[in-house]
């Protein structure tokens, strides 16, 4: 009879997880990689190593690597949308200034996560419908603030101005988060955002008159 101590050690059994649990585990790992290293660090090999599975498992759970990134971004679109809640101030200018300040602070706290909204690995220029709807929703919320100042403004013009405003604030946020804003100006990002909002709203009022 063999001595139990002579038996080879058993390999630890891997915890069996449901598909939903595996997806969430993967998304949590992807978020951490992006947070620490940026969206460019998100590769199938890197992600598989982080979760302890093969790259093939990742592709069984998601349509593609870009899909992983998009699903991580889904939560961050919701976070941006929440910034519109309970904005202080009674005028569009006050509310938009408060919104810009909130967004700048959010991006500065986790710059790589919000850079990933518009960067990262992708195999094509085609984004899923829900992704585009999330962006549209943010722009519509911004456009609503503009049309509250100028009710007769055409929807297409309000959307164009909202897009320009969002893109400009995003650029300020990334420059500040990257420590490069001082290459352009001594003014703070919030001061520049305020000046931008004042100018946009002045143009809106001028078009209305």
* 34 falls within a domain: no
* 204 falls within a domain: yes
Range of the domain at 90: 72-208
**Residue 12's pLDDT band (boundaries 50, 70, 90)?**
very low
Which CATH number covers residue 182?
1.10.357.10
* 47 falls within a domain: no
Phi first, then psi, for residue 168 (nearest 5°) are: -70, -45
In three-state secondary structure terms, 94 is helix
Residues 135-180 have pLDDT tens digits of 999 999 999 999 999 999 999 999 999 999 999 999 999 999 889 9
Residues 127-143 have pLDDT tens digits of 899 999 999 999 999 99
* 178 falls within a domain: yes
Average pLDDT over residues 188-197: 96
* 184 falls within a domain: yes
* 5 falls within a domain: no
pTM for this model (two decimals): 0.82
Q: What is the mean pLDDT of the chain?
A: 89
Average pLDDT over residues 86-111: 94
Average pLDDT over residues 185-189: 96
pLDDT-above-70 percentage for the chain: 89
CA distances, 198 to each of 148, 150, 202 (Å):
15, 14, 6
* 126 falls within a domain: yes
What total number of domains does the chain contain?
1
Cβ atoms of 200 and 165 closer than 8 Å: yes
* 141 falls within a domain: yes
């Amino acid at each position: 009879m063999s001595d139990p101590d002579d038996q080879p050690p058993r390999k630890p059994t891997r915890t069996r997880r449901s598909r939903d649990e595996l997806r969430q585990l993967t998304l949590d790992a992807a978020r951490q990689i992006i947070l620490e290293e940026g969206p460019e660090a998100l590769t199938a090999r890197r992600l598989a190593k982080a979760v302890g599975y093969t790259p093939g498992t990742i592709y069984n759970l998601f349509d593609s690597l870009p899909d992983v990134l998009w699903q991580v971004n889904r939560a961050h679109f919701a976070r941006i949308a929440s910034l519109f809640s309970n904005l202080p101030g009674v005028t569009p200018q006050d509310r938009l200034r408060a919104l810009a300040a909130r967004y700048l602070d959010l991006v500065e706290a986790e710059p790589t996560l919000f850079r990933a909204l518009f960067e990262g690995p992708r195999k094509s220029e085609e984004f899923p419908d829900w992704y585009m709807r999330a962006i549209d929703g943010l722009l519509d919320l911004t456009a609503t603030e503009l049309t509250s100042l100028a009710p007769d403004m055409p929807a297409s013009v309000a959307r164009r101005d909202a897009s320009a405003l969002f893109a400009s604030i995003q650029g300020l946020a990334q420059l500040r988060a990257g420590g490069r804003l001082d290459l352009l100006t001594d003014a703070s990002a919030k001061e520049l955002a305020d000046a931008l909002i004042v100018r946009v709203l002045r143009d809106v009022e001028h078009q209305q008159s």
